[in-house]
Amino acid sequence: MNIGISLYLMITLPLLVIGGNPIGVLYCWICDSSVDSNCLNNIPHGIPDDSTSANIRKYFQPCNWSVNVVNYQCLTIYMDNNDKHIIRQCGYDDYQYSCYKNQTNLICPCDYNGCNGSVKIFSNVKSTTKN
């Protein structure tokens, strides 16, 4: 085998695709319920399947990260600590697997594809509000 082809394969093989998603790329639901009310309760938990409508599937997107960030996560942010305004996005968070409150929001991080779908997670909440 030609050295050029061998080198090409060594570089491209790590970019293999599994289930339509490149290996090592985190996919999260990315939407804001103040823009689209479907973001509140209609986002499936996990990877979308064939029954997921295109209108919802468009929110399942890869996270684009800096090479310096190690702990990538999907976030569900309940604005003003309620479920009337929700933001789902990619992020980085020090509170790796537990929901916590800051001064105004409940933030729930998770670390696998599509984990920030419409599932309420209110157990094991940490408060970071300073009094």
* Whether the model pTM is above 0.95: no
Which tens digits make up the pLDDT trace of 87-131?
Answer: 999 987 665 668 888 888 988 999 899 999 986 444 444 545 444
**pLDDT of 112:** 92
Give yes or no for a contact between 112 and 27, defined as CB atoms under 8 angstroms apart.
no
**pLDDT of 60:** 97
**pLDDT of 102:** 85
Q: What is the set of domains in the chain, with CATH numbers? A: 25-127 (2.10.60.10)
Which tens digits make up the pLDDT trace of 18-59?
Answer: 344 555 788 999 999 999 999 988 899 999 999 999 999 999
